[in-house]
Amino acid sequence: MKLSKYVAIAALGVSVVSCGKQLERKTSLETELDSVSYALGLNTASRMQADPNAKELNEDLYVQGFYDGVDSTNMLIDVNESTNIIRQYFQKMQMEQMKKREEEMKAKTEAEYKDYKKENEAYLEENKGKPNVVTTDSGLQYIVEKEGTGEAPKLTDKVKVHYHGTLPDGTVFDSSVDRGEPSEFGVNQVIKGWTEGLQLMKPGAKYKFFIPQELAYGFQGRLPKIKPYSALVFDVELLDVVPAAQPAAPANK
């Protein structure tokens, strides 16, 4: 729900609620303004019932805020602050709901792919003991097939690379080599395993990356070829590094 919708709830809903006053109930709507007034209240109540966050509002303070705003006296907060308070609260609620949905999805996915996850973990555990395999603190594994020269790319640089990506069983899911055209992208625009691995290389280098799912696509995968919890294997050749643009020097005064 957008902020404007919440503001509408807070501003309009209380107009049909009494605050220490006796509500005069009507049995008919006699004028156009009567119809609009009733429709606004009815519509607001309907929205509130449909939204769990709105249902949690403190009704007494909800009504008090409306009447304090009408006569502009004895306000507990500055009226200009109210919009920020509403925005921050419902943004927090939205983030919590998103996190909850993600955790539920993750639990469901892990139950479905638990055997596949174990297979990939076993593959990496065995692989790290093979000759020439280096394992970093993050869990990234790599083999240096050819060293390069010059400066390794930084996080803010762009790179030009050739690569060939497979699953542990050899299934190819992406390959600039097969397409016959190198790819260019920012070092910080790819999965974590690539971002880390590229910064170990120098132009002209050829590395083989073995990337655990935590540094790749995790429980989400990238269907249809990359299942959840897939480890990824890449042959990577760093062709060139394009340094980040340097800020212009200040003009002499």
| Residues recognised as catalytic | 163, 173-174, 191, 217, 234
The distance of Cα 211 from the centroid of its chain, to the nearest Å, equals 21
Spatial separation of the C-alpha atoms in residues 215 and 141, rounded to whole Å: 11
Integer angstrom CA distances of residue 172 from 58, 212, 221, 233, 253: 57, 17, 15, 9, 58
Q: Are 157 and 244 in contact (CB under 8 A)?
A: yes
Residue 74, sorted as left (phi over 0), alpha (psi -120 to 50) or beta, turns out to be left
Angle CA 61–67–68, to nearest 5: 80
Torsion of CA 201, 206, 209, 215, to 10 degrees: 40
Give the up-direction half-sphere exposure of residue 195: CA atoms within 13 A in the CB hemisphere: 12
Helix (H) or strand (E) holding 64: helix 59-71
